[in-house]
Amino acid sequence: MKQAPRQWYERLSNFLLSKGFVRGAMDKTLFIRKHENDVILLQVYIDDIIYGSNNNTLCEEFVAAM
């Protein structure tokens, strides 16, 4: 049971990286994806995902992919 959070984070990280996100250099729980002039940011905190973008379409695509 102690490894469950680590396995969940690793699986989520691999999924995000496969979708074109880049892990933050300083904060390894921050994921960034740029598309032309738009950006979407995801912050993973324990079992929550906080996301935001300057383009609502990127947020909608992220939710649909999850």
User: Quick one: pLDDT at residue 32?
Assistant: 94
Residues in the chain: 66
Stretch 28-44: mean pLDDT, rounded? 91
6-32 pLDDT, tens digit each: 788 888 899 899 989 999 889 888 999
Residue 55 has pLDDT above 80, yes or no: yes
Beta strands in 1-66 (DSSP E): 22-23, 30-35, 38-45, 48-53
Reply yes or no on whether the pLDDT at 3 is more than 90. no
Predicted TM-score (pTM) of this structure: 0.81
Phi, psi of 63 (to 5 degrees): -65, -40
Pick the CATH number of 4-65 from 3.10.180, 3.40.50, 1.10.8, 3.30.310: 3.30.310
Domain boundaries along the sequence of the chain: 4-65
pLDDT of residue 5: 76
